[in-house]
Structures are given as C-alpha cells and as structure tokens.
Structure 1
C-alpha cells in the first residue's frame, strides 16, 4: 500500500511541476529531454544490481523498455496536439479515462476477479474522472477526434505494457534499472527530435529549461518505480490498483489545483471528487 501511496503523491507532483512550467514559460520539450536523462541516471545509480550499459539490450525486459520509451515521447506530442486541437479539458479526460484499458487487460489477460461491486466501483470511478477533470473553458475547440483517441489508446497502452513487462520479465532487483532504461530510451528519441528542430532553427538550450528538467526528473523516476513496485504486490490485482491509482491522482490533483493555484471548482468537479472517493472505496472493498 505504501508504494501505491508514494506513486500517487509523486505523480501528482508532476502535474504541479507542469503547472509551474506554464507560469515560468519553460520549453517543455527541452525540459522533458533533461528530465529523461535525470531519470535514466537515477535508475542506474540506485539500481540494486549493476548491469553494464553495453549489456542492457541483452536483458529480457529490453524490448518492452524500447517500446515504452518510444511511447513516452510519442504520447507527449499527442498530448500537446490534443490540447491545441481539442482543448485542455478533452486532453485531461482522454488521458485519465484511459485507465479502462489496463483494467480490461487485467481482467481478460490475467483472469482477475469480476464482481458486481468491483464493476460498479470502476464505472463510478470513470464517471468521477470525467466530472473531476472537465473545466468550463472560454473557448472550446471542436477539433478532430483522432488525437483524443490516440491519447486514450496510447496512455492505456503504457500502463498495460508496464504491467505485462513487470509480470513476465522484470525481477524485483531490476525495477530501478528497468525504469532507468526506458527513460534513457525516451531521452534518445527526444534528443533526436531536438536535434532535428535545432537544424531547422537554432536556439539556446536555456539554463531554466535544464533546471526545470532536473526538478521534473526526480518525481517522474519515482512515480514509475513505485508504480511497478506496487504492481509486484500479490495482494493487489492490477485492475484494482490502476483504478485506485488513477482516480486518486485525479482527486489529489484537483484539490492541489483548488488550494495551491486557486483554480475554479465547479459543482461537477465537487460531485466528481465525491464519486471518486466512493469508487475507490468500492473497488478496494471488492
């Protein structure tokens, strides 16, 4: 349970940091790139057993880390496009509702339990995610559904693949180095994109972007490590864990936005938080 709570707290911290990125006009792509390098370094420095970098590709979990690294950077761009084309609310909802993907895979792939109470809790949790995330935007874009659909599928695929690789290939002592490796792969893809952009238009990297990336990298690393460690707990089914994890992040992020950033809290948001708590209780009991 402690690993799940820590994953929720560190994941919520990421939302707070991204909020400050907007306030301080941080170049998100550059900060993301630095963040991946920091998370990669932490993975190898804190690893329980040492593996030479030259032998990483020999590890059974490397193909999964390769795909996840590519997904990490790809979904970042999809999120940006969704926000531009469809608005912030749609982006938030599409990303968070994707919890249904790993939940379904957990039930069908790992034969996890299906009870009326559990199904009811998941349905209530999904409704809660929508109500908690929706914001009254002054200008709502009606863009194509392509990007929200890609965000929904991609975000769900990341959680599902993390669970699959963890179950089949990642030993307990390899959690840190596996996490570091997928961040390192994401950094390589991010570096290639930055290089292409630099060739087209030269610009300084900026000290504040480096600092922002370091600040982001630490909680980002721990959010993944603690999530994987929570998934290793045999007392928690992944369908239950992902539901509790995602919905709890929504609750805490919403409350942080209300208290720290004085964001508007509509009646829908209030109902969403209440339903989210009810959904978590039902899923946990089930």
Structure 2
C-alpha cells in the first residue's frame, strides 16, 4: 500500500506545483517542456526501454500522445489556476467513464446495467463539480473557467484510451512506449518553446527549468509508484485502481480546501462524493 500512497502524493504534488506556478511567476509551458526531459531520463533508468526492435511500433498513437500530453498539461495548469485543485483532480479521476464508453462502442465489450450506472453517476458528478456560484479562484477572470476541468475530463479520457491501445501492442513493452511518447512530447514542446523564444514571447530562465525538472520528478513518480503498486498487488488490481482514484480525489480536496482555501458549494461537495461512488461502481463493473 506504500506504493499507492506515494503515487497519490506525487499526483497531488503535481497539482500543487501548478497551483504555485503563478505565485512564483513560472512559465507553465516552459516548465512542462523541461518536465519531459527529466521524465525521459527517469524512464530510461527505471523502466528500461528496449529500442532494438520497433518495427511494430504504433507510430500514429505515439504521435497523438506526444501532442496531447503537453497540451493537456497546459490545460491542467489553467484548470488548477482558475478552478482549483479540488475540481481539477476530481475531473481527472472520473474521466475513467470515457474509456468505459469507448470499450463498449469500439472494442466490443458488453454493456451492463452496472457500467451504465457508473457512467451516469460519473457524468452527474462532473456536472455538479462544474457548478460555481462565486468568483474564479484566480485573480484574473476568464469568461468560461468551467471549460478547463471539462477539457481535463475529456482529455484524460482520450489519453487513457490511447494508452489502452498501446497496452495491446505486445511486441513493445510499456516502458519502451512511454519512453518514446515522452521523447516526442519533449521534442515537440521544445520546438514550440524555441519558436516562442525567437519571437521574444518567452525567455530561457533557470527558475523555469528547475521548476520543470521538479515537476517531472513528481509526474514520473506518480506513474512509477502506480506501476509498482500493480506489481506488488498483482492479484488485486481493483484495489490499486480504486484506492488510487479515491485517494487522489480525497487528498486533492483536503489540500485544496485546507491549504489553499478553495471554496466549494454544497453541490460541488455532492459532486465529489458522487465521483467517489462512480469510481467504486466502475471498479465493481
């Protein structure tokens, strides 16, 4: 269980760092770019990618993930800034209803009443989370701040589907796929960052780079400890899945409300409870 706890902590630390980025004038996109440089190194050390035979590599899926991962990271940063850690982390965790729908529509899985109930509860929870009757979390007002957690919800669902497709490629290990995806994400992000520097919209600064490296350690730690938890509890994967998702929602809610004084309405709090119920139902299904 220690691996699950460490994975939960790393996941919430990522959100906390994105929350603190504005306070310390950190360029989020630059931090996200350098985050992938550390993720590449740590993946090479701990997951031992095998790059000798890549003839069956799903290049299209790698490319999509290489674009979507950094783009979603930017959206998460905006969601944490404008809507807070509580809503962002909860939206991320209940995004699991999207691959459940995809499994039924595209992968031929049976659709049971229990699965339908889990999906329905998840969507109700998402709707209640988006309800906001007070000013945005950040000082800068935006027209539709609720779009950010909604995009987090949709984005994580799509990325989960793509990673499930990668898991079906038996000739290439997950560590190898993750390494290649991180390389693509870093190369594409760095190309955009260099362009922004050339047109003087950004500037290379050590504070952004160091922040990005710390972000990369926390981001990779989340994945590594999650994988180690599944290995340690190989005969009970549902325990890992449920504990991880509920743990992130719970810890994220505690940190958001106690440390950062984020305000939630009674409808939001019902949404958080329903999100936990949705996770349990889907695990059972």
TM-score by length of 2: 0.75
For residues 193-241 of structure 1, give each alpha carbon's deviation from its aligned partner in whole angstroms, at most 9, with x where no partner exists: 111111111754222212211111012123345566788968658xx95
Contact 1:40 1:184 in 2 (8 A): yes
Contact 2:128 2:267 in 1 (8 A): yes
**How many angstroms does 1:253 deviate by?**
1.4
**How many angstroms does 1:35 deviate by?**
0.3
For residues 12-43 of structure 1, give each alpha carbon's deviation from its aligned partner in whole angstroms, at most 9, with x where no partner exists: 22111211212222111111111000001111
Q: 1:135 to 1:234 in 2, by over 3 A?
A: farther
Q: 1:236 to 1:186 in 2, by over 3 A?
A: same
Q: 1:223 to 1:263 in 2, by over 3 A?
A: same
Please name the residue that 1:262 is paired with: 261
**How many angstroms does 1:277 deviate by?**
3.0
- Give the secondary-structure state (helix, strand or coil) at the position aligned to 1:265: coil
**Is there any run of 5+ residues in structure 1 with no aligned partner, and where?**
none
Contact 2:256 2:262 in 1 (8 A): yes
Root mean square deviation of aligned Cα: 3.9
- The separation in 2 between residues aligned to 1:149 and 1:269, in whole angstroms, is 14
Please name the residue that 1:100 is paired with: 97
Please name the residue that 1:218 is paired with: 217
Please name the residue that 1:178 is paired with: 177
- The separation in 1 between residues aligned to 2:272 and 2:283, in whole angstroms, is 16
**How many angstroms does 1:165 deviate by?**
0.8
- The separation in 1 between residues aligned to 2:29 and 2:153, in whole angstroms, is 21
Please name the residue that 2:40 is paired with: 40
Contact 2:33 2:70 in 1 (8 A): no
Please name the residue that 1:201 is paired with: 200
For residues 34-91 of structure 1, give each alpha carbon's deviation from its aligned partner in whole angstroms, at most 9, with x where no partner exists: 100000111112234553xxx575462454323211111233455678899xx647x9
Contact 2:15 2:80 in 1 (8 A): no
- The separation in 1 between residues aligned to 2:251 and 2:146, in whole angstroms, is 28
Q: 1:134 to 1:77 in 2, by over 3 A?
A: same
Contact 2:4 2:225 in 1 (8 A): yes
- The separation in 1 between residues aligned to 2:160 and 2:127, in whole angstroms, is 19
Please name the residue that 2:163 is paired with: 162
Alignment coverage as a number of residue pairs: 275
**How many angstroms does 1:266 deviate by?**
2.6
Larger displacement relative to structure 2 (192-201 or 111-120): 111-120
Contact 2:99 2:158 in 1 (8 A): yes
For residues 69-125 of structure 1, give each alpha carbon's deviation from its aligned partner in whole angstroms, at most 9, with x where no partner exists: 1111233455678899xx647x94876664332121223444445432332233223
Larger displacement relative to structure 2 (160-169 or 7-16): 7-16
Contact 2:66 2:181 in 1 (8 A): yes
Contact 2:75 2:148 in 1 (8 A): yes
- The separation in 2 between residues aligned to 1:204 and 1:128, in whole angstroms, is 40
- Give the secondary-structure state (helix, strand or coil) at the position aligned to 2:168: helix
Please name the residue that 1:23 is paired with: 23
